[in-house]
Structure 1
Amino acid sequence: MTVLCVCPDADAAAYYAEPIATELPGYIFQAVVLGPKDVPIITDPAEVAAHPELAAMGVMMHGRQEPVLKAFVDALELVEPDYGPQYLEYAYNMAAAAVRRILEELVSSTSWPVYTPFAKQHFGRGKAEGRTEGEVHAVLTVLDSRGIEVPESARARIHACTDLQEIDAWLKKAGVVQTVDELFD
């Protein structure tokens, strides 16, 4: 049996590479250790594109070095489109939290599509919140421009709604109702 120990920390890799005596007669345990010295530092986007699997491991091992991350993100546009997002996911999931934050910043500053879980969550939520706010504003603008009085309680109800389908329905009705109460019927 072989045990692979992946250690982004050089000291931890050296520690776990040492043989470990066991109570089993004649058996000494020794893990196969993959550490920073075993994974090259790749800072050339063309080399990253040629070996994206190795570069993803490089992000885990050497991701605190910004040139490694920059080359990785820049190369994603050179990798086959079906595989680039997958390599980004692999690298992101293997990376330490601090490295993930840097990756998120780099990805958000490029034209690269949104793929990491963090980006999906925040981009999607921001997009939905922006649409909701825009739709609510449109409903109130149509009612106000038609001279329909919108009491504070109705205004609060419209602002509190997060259901885009309901807000869309209100927007359609806002152009034809005579009172704000008809909007909610």
Structure 2
Amino acid sequence: MPDSPHEALHQVIRDHAEVLGRLYTQVFDEPPPVLGAATVLNVDLTEVRPMIRYPDTVLHYAGPPEHIVVVESQTDPDPEKWDAWLYYLAYLRTRYGCDVTVLVLSPNQSTANWARQPFRIGPARRPTNVFQAIGLGPQDIPTVADATEAGRDVVYAMFTVLVHRLDPAPESELTALAEALATIDIETAKSLALFTDAGLGATVAQQIWRSLMHTQEFDYQSGLAAEYEARGEARGEARGEARGRAADVLRILERRGVTVPEEVRARILDCQDPAQLTTWLDRALDAHTATDLFA
């Protein structure tokens, strides 16, 4: 279960790659350029050790036609991201020899508008390269406010709710999703309800969702309140354990005189996977450089 809106949005896409096809159909009113089965690729696009590149999600659609979609979440504008996105496109195009799309999702429409601006490299009148991502925000992705429509594709309805999590009045969309969940099997509905709660984060939408989960009388709601509390405690314990293990990794490197660049430090501190941190802890004992952790 994800513990942040950022991770929730990407886990939906990784677990249900068909969501992107529905997204293209709804937003652009055209068949999606990605067909066939999808494989989630390793997001490590590091080629030279000092340069560490990790996109959020990379999906490889077998096709035909073969196609790769890089999905990035962006809350606020960050001009340095354009260079990273261009790198992802060039690397994946070179390695796999197929078309690559960079799709940027944001809960803030202004950030989505910024993300899809053309990024030019070279002189203004004769640029060597013009790169343009597909930026989508709440105004670009229609909400699903009808329970019957939401029931046709519950996962996509949940996806749109996560994209619109900062909307000031999302009651109708959340109610439609809650009612749609009652039309599928109870265990799946309960899992998606908990997933929705995690993906909404600390927002007004989450407060409305929890109110719906406490006041409505759907079969799948049984035990959800206790589950919310238990998961909240477990996430707190897991975060505390991860922070301690990350601090141990950094401490070993520093005591051994290994220089730790800021991007490596940030990656270690951001990691919430105990198994991954344990692996890095073992490697820190013999690492000659900080990037040896990721070898």
TM-score, structure 1 normalization:
0.55
User: Once the 2 structures are TM-superposed, how far is the Cα of residue 18 of structure 1 from its aligned partner?
Assistant: 0.8
The unaligned stretches of length 5 or more in structure 2 are: 1-88, 90-100, 235-295
SS of structure 2 residue aligned to 1:41:
coil
Question: 1:108 corresponds to which residue?
Answer: 214
Deviation of 1:74 after TM superposition, in Å, equals 1.7
Q: What residue number does 2:237 align with?
A: none
Partner of 1:71: 176
Structure 1 consecutive aligned stretches of length 4 or more whose deviation exceeds 6 Å: 122-125
Does 1:31 find its partner at 2:133?
A: yes
Match of 2:113 in 1: 14
Comparing both structures, which one devotes a greater share of its residues to strand? 2
Could you tell me which of 94, 104, 112 is aligned with 2:199?
Answer: 94
How far apart are the structure 2 equivalents of 1:89 and 1:27?
A: 44
What's the CA shift string for 1:30-89, capped at 9, x where partnerless? 222222233222111111111112211221233432111111112111123343234324
Relative to structure 1, the CA distance from residue 87 to residue 26 in structure 2 (aligned partners, 3 Å threshold; closer, same or farther) is farther
Please tell me whether the aligned partners of residues 62 and 68 of structure 1 are also in contact (alpha carbons under 8 angstroms): no
**What does residue range 15-164 of structure 1 map to in structure 2 within 5 Å?**
15-22=114-121, 26-63=128-165, 64=167, 65-98=170-203, 99-111=205-217, 112-115=221-224, 119-121=228-230
Q: How many residues align?
A: 125
Give the secondary structure class of the aligned counterpart of 1:37.
coil
Q: Residue in 1 aligned with 2:10?
A: none
Percent identity (aligned)? 22
Which TM-score applies when normalising by structure 2? 0.37
Amino acid at match of 1:56: M
Structure 1 stretches lacking a partner, 5+ long? 126-185
> In proportion to residue count, which structure has more helix?
1
CA distance in 2, matches of 1:12, 1:116: 34
**Are the counterparts in 2 of residues 39 and 54 from structure 1 also a CA contact under 8 Å?**
no
**How much has 1:120 moved relative to structure 2?**
4.1
Q: 1:36 to 1:124 in 2, by over 3 A?
A: closer
Tell me the SS of whatever aligns to 1:60: helix
